[in-house]
Structure 1
Amino acid sequence: MIITVTPNPALDVSYRVEHVHPGESHRVRSVHERAGGKGLNVSRVLHGQGVPTLVAAPVGGVLGDVIRDDLTAAGIEHALLPVSAPTRKTIAVIAEADADEATLFNEPGSKLGGEDWQRLRGLVADRLTAASVLVCSGSLPPGCAANSYAELVRDAHARSVPAVVDATGPALLAAAEAGADLVKPNAAELRETTGHDDPLSGAQQLRDRGAAAVIVSLGPDGLLAATDEGLWRAAPPFAVSGNPTGAGDAAVAAFAAGIMRRETWPERLRNAVAWSAAAAAAPVAGTLDHRVLRDIADNITIEPLAADGRAGE
């Protein structure tokens, strides 16, 4: 199975309103709640595609119980670590007049102390013997060291399990230096982490630091891949409107599944672009719009790039 680790999970709450105007009162037309956090979204996509997965995360307080109940109701296998700190909330406010955009309010999360981190690390290590891929996704909560994901990468490699990391900043750099098999920043995160405006230069820097493969999300323009087998650009045939919040998580799910299935890089890229677009078209993160998935999957452009980033072999 594919294990996903989410050190900073949340209860995701979505409000739909007629419009959003700062300083005014708003009548909420509908409320949707579900267990969230980037790794949980990855597992939800995998589960929906019939790929065995296990969620590992620390949870606490009343919202921690809500997350546990939600995952159980969805039939998603989980190993949740009880902690004293309460689980956070994230709130997305979506205006019906402009449903393609959401106003987000992300709580930072409670501190996860060193002892709790080591307990979570041990919980994951105990399950790695049954894993085919480890995925580490999302922000690290206060109290976690920047090398926390790097520790999990090393734990996975000690058991011959490939590791995928979706992070930013020092945590991303440390994971690359630990030899993560794949890291997946978006263009803004890559720029923040490496200081490079050019995605290819930033990706090459992470490869130079030790990452085996770097995938850069380019939003509606698709993906850039820098791997030991070459460089590629992958792009959808048309733009997809909707909520892009979980699109990157769907791409991570596709890459993890591709590693598990030993797919070629073009196959992984094709599925990642398709799953990502289908996630953007879906109403909530962690789900895919199967109509979009069907329409887009066979029409994705996979283009090999030369070392300077130009099209070519």
Structure 2
Amino acid sequence: MILTVTLNAALDVTYRVPALVPGTTHRVTEVAERAGGKGVNVARVLHTLGDPVVATGLAGGACGARIRSLLADEGVREAFVPVAAESRRTVVVAEPTAATGLWEPGPTVTPDEWTAFLGRFADLVRDARVVVLSGSLPPGVPVDAYRALIEAAREAGARTVLDSSGEPLRHGLRAGPDLVKPNAEELSGLVGGPLPRPAAAVDAVRALAARTVVASFGPAGLLAVTEQGSWHAFLPDPLDGNPTGAGDACVAALTHGMIHPRSWRERLTDAVALSAAAVRAPVAGSVDLTDYRRLRRAVTIKEL
């Protein structure tokens, strides 16, 4: 079983408009509502791929109840721990070739609620082969939460994937996750300087405290630095669409590759193609498998 952790789960709302013009009124052509948060998106893609997955985290109020209900409707198993405060909403205003996101901060979590989650996590992780820790931390959750969860997962014999940013990412790295998936901006913050292109970042990435680093550079593709080698994987041409959720699809593909016998070339091909399929999907956090299989044939991989 794969366990995904979303401590700052969200109710995702996507508004589709012909064009976003600040300071004006818009008529929305379509509204979509989904359970969201980075780990929830990862769980949804893994479920689409047919992998056994359980989504856990913190969920509160009417938004939290709606998140859990929507996951049940999709057939994604969930084991969220309730909190008293209201879970956040994230709003994406999607144009044909761009997207604007508005992220609420999330509920304030009490010490007793955090202790309850740690107990639930300890029960769930016993059956997990891989634990995916994704996204931001809501107010009240300790900044070193991911470090504590990675250490607990390791004690239970599970491998770990970390996809966060800022101080939660820095603290999590100190626990030595098996795989970390920063984007270019997060990677620059970790190494202390700009990284103009994937090939220029290999030496900097090797200094991070993780066995494997797969960094996403948007349209420029993925840089993977592993114990078996380093690669740059990309599509020859950029795609138009909504990039929200592309990184989560990438994490799902990499996690899928950890529980199935896949070479690194195959894992990276899957990761680029699933990310691209997420960009082309009409709603954040979803993928079309037919689109994914077609895009897979176009992926280029160069060994560095």
Q: Does the 8 Å CA contact 2:243/2:279 hold for their aligned counterparts?
A: yes
Distance 1:158 1:51 in 2: 23
Distance 1:201 1:221 in 2: 13
1:83-232 alignment to 2 at 5 Å?
83-95=83-95, 99-198=96-195, 204-205=203-204, 207-232=206-231
**Residue 202 of structure 1: CA displacement?**
5.9
- Structure 2: gaps (5+ residues): none
Distance 2:199 2:167 in 1: 19
Three-state SS of the structure 2 residue aligned to 1:258 is helix
Three-state SS of the structure 2 residue aligned to 1:72 is helix
Q: Does the 8 Å CA contact 1:196/1:202 hold for their aligned counterparts?
A: no
How many residue pairs get aligned? The number is 302
Tell me the residue number matched to 1:289. Answer: 288
Q: Which amino acid in 1 is paired with 2:258?
A: I
Q: Which amino acid in 2 is paired with 1:210?
A: A
Three-state SS of the structure 1 residue aligned to 2:125 is helix
**Residue 281 of structure 1: CA displacement?**
0.9
**Residue 209 of structure 1: CA displacement?**
4.3
Three-state SS of the structure 2 residue aligned to 1:272 is helix
**Residue 117 of structure 1: CA displacement?**
2.0
Distance 1:236 1:20 in 2: 28
Q: Which amino acid in 1 is paired with 2:137?
A: L
**Residue 204 of structure 1: CA displacement?**
4.7
Q: Does the 8 Å CA contact 2:54/2:76 hold for their aligned counterparts?
A: yes
Q: What is the aligned-residue RMSD (CA, Å)? A: 1.7
Q: Does the 8 Å CA contact 2:244/2:285 hold for their aligned counterparts?
A: no
Give percent identity, aligned residues only: 45
Distance 1:110 1:62 in 2: 12
Distance 1:200 1:78 in 2: 39
Q: Does the 8 Å CA contact 1:203/1:216 hold for their aligned counterparts?
A: no
User: Which shifted more, 232-241 or 7-16?
Assistant: 232-241
Q: Which amino acid in 2 is paired with 1:41?
A: N
Distance 2:210 2:238 in 1: 30
Q: Which amino acid in 2 is paired with 1:70?
A: L
Counterpart check, 1:278 vs 2:270: no
User: Which shifted more, 22-31 or 151-160?
Assistant: 22-31
Three-state SS of the structure 2 residue aligned to 1:5 is strand
- Structure 1: gaps (5+ residues): 306-313
Q: Does the 8 Å CA contact 1:176/1:206 hold for their aligned counterparts?
A: no
Q: Which amino acid in 2 is paired with 1:239?
A: P
Distance 1:185 1:203 in 2: 13
